[in-house]
Amino acid sequence: MNNTNHLNYILRLADSPMILGQRLSEWCGHGPILEQDIALTNIALDFIGQARNLYQYAAKFEAKGRTEDDFAFLRDPLKYKNVLLVEQPNGNWGQTIMRQFLYDSFNFYFYNELKNSTDTQISAIAEKSLKEIKYHLRYSSEWTARLGDGTEESHMKMQNALDELWMYTGELCTPDALDEEAAKAGIGVDLNKIHPYVEEKVDAILRRATLQKPESNWMQKGGKQGQHSEHLGFILAEMQFMQRAYPGAEW
Amino acid sequence: MTDAKQLSLEDNFQAKVDAEIKIEPKDWMPEKYRKTLIRQISQHAHSEIVGMLPEGNWITRAPSLRRKLGLLAKVQDEAGHGLYLYSACETLGIERDTLLDQLHTGKAKYSSIFNYPTTTWADIGAIGWLVDGAAIMNQVPICRCSYGPYARAMVRVCKEESFHQRQGFEILLTLSKGTDEQRAMLQDAVNRWWWPSVMMFGPSDKDSPNTAQSMKWKIKRFTNDDLRQKFVDVCVGQAEILGVTLPDPDLKYNEETGHWDFGTINWDEFWQVVKGNGPCNRQRLNARKKAHEEGAWVREAAMAYAEKQEQCEVASVAKVA
Amino acid sequence: MSKKNWPLWEVFIRSKQGLNHKHVGSLHATNAEMAIENARDVYTRRKEGVSIWVVESVHISASNPDASDELFEPATDKVYRHPTFYDLPDEVKHM
């Protein structure tokens, strides 16, 4: 794998937790009950921390003087390679939980493999992150079951959330050229390999939650190639405002 | 209860307080002591969770990843502090939900400082330095409050709070070493937050009728004016390090008292903000109400699910038996 | 819909192996599992613990403070329960 692609793979790893952490952090102060406000913020902190570790590594790997903040705050949507799922709006608490559950189901098995990366930096970061991710999956699985099988109202809200978000799950386990190359080089994860595990986990929890997987199998794609939904532009406009408005300033 | 018995209970209670013996939830206490505590602790808890809002504004716009993590963790801490304090309050026999209702209906107050807007990033630094600084000044003595659960909650709060003020000061220090634009931002924030912070200690002692009783019960350890003076004295030196001017032309060292004299506080503004006429009162309260109302279905569903689970367990145990 | 609040739970944390669990405060949760998770998120954010106990507050029975005199006073003058009550010659160094 050449250095450009290697770097792009690291950045791809970083961008999804960055955007998801940013999204989750919007909840801080607005959660349904204090205990859960705190719980969700812990998850946001985990993701932003993971993204930061990966951006730091990307900066070191590239060795051209760019910093973690340059990667986070000075790249446009076209350069961001996060999956579409994580940029979807928070919506109500149920939508946030559903988005989280769908992502965590993938992310857990993904990181479980990523820790075997031949890139020792990536594998070290993955190993450390995996402990957090394991907890995320447990948390979002429980909450998906709770709300899916809670009251009539919560069931309906969760089913709606699943129907809305399902089409963004396709690209999680569908490899593109870069995924394949990284997997082959032993640096990245073979998505085909984890796909059945992810599916099994999702099915099991949806069953517990008494939710129906949507019939349509039409999937959106493009996030990993920088083709995003409209939401990302707004996320970055907000997130990058300071760095864009005051170029070069230290904070 | 006879008057004599009541009197001896009260004497007994006061003797314990005087001897610095903590009062615990199930101990006898005068009804007014209980009410005063509920009012003060819940007001304190409300301030923590309303206080999340002005700073929360800047989480998504924090200028670096390091700052984003620091700010997010700090605002989360405030949620934690709110929670510790609601818990302390609940030991007095009142539910958190009731307390929240009091906040939402405007019956309970919270610190007025959070009714001011955070318009620039420098405000996040200024809040950390001045608002948290004033809060710590207020809170440290409460760690020795006569009511055990409140005192213990405050020990935990103060331990966590210490990083908040340092974080704020560091944000400002970075600005002070930055561009002209950043220094202007810094001075502007200090201009706007200084007086509201000075007001945070509450009305002057002569207009604070509850102070004497609260001090006797050791709920309060210092008067508002004493704490305010201490705060001003500390800030003067710190402002110098930051290279900012505190917006008070009357600020002058008094050789005789060894303290810094300061100008007249605009109590009219203070009372207007308390009454609901601050720049953000409605906005803050609406945000809290919205979060609570929109969370209702979540809380209900989680409860319903837990009850279902419990029934399932009971049913399966019955089957085995 | 019936409005039912999440019950209150008391939280006990073991700060490190070898120490007792200690009461740290309370929180609300729908059941024991959630109470443990909430306690993890609320009370161990700064590595304060290695183990968590939770118990629903209504299940705690407490001694009555009005009975403190008869419960605890009698122990105060039983000095013979303490090692310092017994005189030993100085030559016996450790006992």
Chains touching B, CB cut-off 8 Å, 3+ pairs: A, C
Q: Which helix (H) or strand (E) holds B187?
A: helix B180-199
pLDDT, position B321: 62
Chain B positions contacting chain C at CB under 8 Å are 24, 26-28, 76-77, 80, 83-84, 87-88, 90, 95-97, 152-153, 156, 160, 299-300, 302-303, 305-306, 309-310
Across chain B, what does the average pLDDT equal? 95
Q: Label residue A9 exposed, middle or buried (CB < 10 Å: 0-12, 13-18, 19+).
A: buried
Chain A partners within 8 Å of C9 (Cβ): none
Give CA–CA dist A132/A47, Å, rounded: 9
B211–chain A nearest CA distance, Å? 31
Residue B289 has pLDDT above 60, yes or no: yes
Contact indicator for B104, B292 with CB cutoff of 8 Å = yes
pLDDT, position C1: 42
Give CA–CA dist A13/A22, Å, rounded: 15
Encoded tokens for B253: 């060292």
Give CA–CA dist B17/B9, Å, rounded: 12
Chains touching A, CB cut-off 8 Å, 3+ pairs: B, C
Q: Please give the residue of chain A at the shortest CA–CA distance from C29.
A: A35
Q: Which of C33, C42, C45 sits opposite A35 (nearest CB)?
A: C42
Complex ipTM, two decimals? 0.97
pTM (two decimals): 0.95
Give CA–CA dist C46/C43, Å, rounded: 8
Q: How much of chain A exceeds pLDDT 70, in percent?
A: 100
Give CA–CA dist B110/B92, Å, rounded: 19
Q: Comparing C-alpha atoms, which of B146, B130, B188 is closest to residue B30?
A: B146
**Residue A238: count of CB within 10 angstroms of its CB:** 13
Cross-chain residue pair C38–A35, CB shorter than 8 Å? yes
Give CA–CA dist B240/A28, Å, rounded: 34
pLDDT tens per residue across span A87-123: 999 999 999 999 999 999 999 999 999 999 999 999 9
Residue C75 has pLDDT above 90, yes or no: no
A69 touches chain C (CB under 8 A): no
Encoded tokens for A218: 């039409």
Cα–Cα distances (Å) from B270 to A234, B32, B96, in that order, read 38, 27, 28
What is the helix, strand, coil percentage profile of chain B, to 5? 70, 0, 25
Residue C2 has pLDDT above 70, yes or no: no
**Res. C3 pLDDT band, cuts 50 70 90:** low
**What is the CB-side half-sphere exposure of residue B251 using CA atoms within 13 A?**
16
Contact indicator for B105, B292 with CB cutoff of 8 Å = no
Contact indicator for B26, C57 with CB cutoff of 8 Å = no
pLDDT, position B7: 81
pLDDT tens per residue across span B74-101: 999 999 999 999 999 999 999 999 999 9
Q: Please give the residue of chain A at the shortest CA–CA distance from C45.
A: A42
pLDDT tens per residue across span B29-54: 999 999 999 999 999 999 999 999 99
pLDDT, position A233: 98
Q: Which of B28, B95, B306 sits opposite C30 (nearest CB)?
A: B306
Chain C partners within 8 Å of A42 (Cβ): 41, 45
pLDDT, position B320: 67
Q: Which of B53, B182, B294 sits opposite A249 (nearest CB)?
A: B182
The phi, psi pair for B147, rounded to 5°, reads -90, 115
Helix axes B65-90, A34-62, angle to 10 degrees: 160
Encoded tokens for B100: 């929240």
Cross-chain residue pair A39–C41, CB shorter than 8 Å? yes
pLDDT, position A68: 98
Interfacial C residues in 29-68 facing A (CB < 8 Å) = 29-30, 33-34, 37-38, 41-42, 45
Contact indicator for A162, A133 with CB cutoff of 8 Å = no
Cross-chain residue pair A242–B63, CB shorter than 8 Å? yes
Regions of chain A with pLDDT less than 70: none
Residue B317 has pLDDT above 80, yes or no: no
Length of chain A: 251
Cα–Cα distances (Å) from A152 to A159, C29, C30, in that order, read 11, 21, 18
pLDDT, position B172: 98
**Res. B210 pLDDT band, cuts 50 70 90:** confident
Q: Please give the residue of chain A at the shortest CA–CA distance from C28.
A: A35
Contact indicator for A99, A19 with CB cutoff of 8 Å = no
Cross-chain residue pair A147–B301, CB shorter than 8 Å? yes
